[in-house]
Structure 1
C-alpha cells in the first residue's frame, strides 16, 4: 500500500509537468503556424519589418509627454535637452532605416529611402513638438528642439548613405 501511494504521488507530480510541456508545445506549434500565415500578409510583414521603429516611436512619445519635473533628479548641463532630442531622433531614423533594409532584404541601395525616411521623421518630430506645445503645460514645443531633431535625422541619413547607398 505504501509503495502504491508513493508511485501515485510521483505520478500526480509528473502529470502536471507533462501536461504543461505537451500543452506548451501545442501552443508554440499553433502560434508558429499563425505566425507563418501572418507573414504571408504583406501589410503585416511591413509592420514586422518596422516593429523596432514603432516601439521607439512610442518611447519618444512617452518621454516627450512626461512632465519635466520627473527629470529633476537627473544630472543636466546647458544644451543637454538638445543632445537628447538629437539622439532620440537619430535612433528613431536608424531603426526606420533598419526597417527599410529588412523590407528590401538588404537591397535598398537607392537614394529614395533617405528622402522618405527624413520626411516621415521630420513630420513625427514636428508632431511631437506640436503635441508638447498644444496639450501639455509642463512641456513646451520649441523650434530649437525641432532643429535638434532635424540634426539627429540628418545624422542617421548620412550614416545610411555612407553604409548602404552605392555600395559595391
Structure 2
C-alpha cells in the first residue's frame, strides 16, 4: 500500500482520538462497565502506535523496524499526555487522569510487542 494510505489512516485515527477525548463527557454514552474507559484508552493507543509505525516504516523504506517503532511509540506517549493536558486546560467536563496516561502507555506497549512478535515470525519488510 502507498505511504499516503498509511498517513491518512494514522491521521484520521489521531483525529478520532482528539474528538472523543475532548468532547463533553455528557455526550459520550454511559456504559456501566468498570474501567471501560481505560480499555478504550489502551485500544486507542494500540491502534495509534500501529498505524503511525506503518506510516514511518513506509516513509523510511528500511528493513529496520526498530527506528519507526521507537518513533511511533514515543509520539504515542507524548500525544497521550498532551490529550490529558488538553482535557484539563480546554474542557469543562473532562479532566486529565494519570491512569489514562498509564492506559495509553499500556496500549502503545502492547502495539510494540505485537509488532515485534509479527516481525519475528513474518516479514514486515514487505509493508
What TM-score, normalized by structure 1, do the two folds share? 0.65
Equivalent pair of 1:110/1:165 in contact (CA under 8 Å): no
Q: Is residue 57 of structure 1 aligned with residue 14 of structure 2?
A: yes
Equivalent pair of 2:57/2:68 in contact (CA under 8 Å): no
- Aligned mates of 1:161, 1:86 — CA distance in 2: 18
Equivalent pair of 2:73/2:109 in contact (CA under 8 Å): yes
Backbone CA RMSD of aligned residues: 2.2
Give 1 or 2 for the bigger CA radius of gyration.
1
Find the counterpart in structure 2 of residue 136 from structure 1.
91
- Aligned mates of 2:63, 2:6 — CA distance in 1: 13
- Aligned mates of 2:6, 2:34 — CA distance in 1: 37
Alignment of 1:41-56 (within 5 A): 49-56=6-13
Find the counterpart in structure 2 of residue 97 from structure 1.
53
Structure 1 unaligned regions, length at least 5: 1-44
Find the counterpart in structure 2 of residue 29 from structure 1.
none
Q: Is residue 84 of structure 1 aligned with residue 43 of structure 2?
A: no
Alignment of 1:1-168 (within 5 A): 49-71=6-28, 73-105=29-61, 107-164=62-119
- Aligned mates of 1:120, 1:90 — CA distance in 2: 12
Distance 1:158 1:101, change over 3 A: same
Query: Secondary structure of the residue that 1:50 maps to in structure 2?
Result: helix
- Aligned mates of 1:104, 1:116 — CA distance in 2: 12
Structure 2 unaligned regions, length at least 5: none
Distance 1:103 1:49, change over 3 A: farther
Distance 1:110 1:98, change over 3 A: closer
Equivalences, count = 122
Kindly report structure 1 stretches of 4+ aligned residues shifted beyond 6 Å. none
- Larger RCO (CA within 8 A; separation ≥ 6): 2
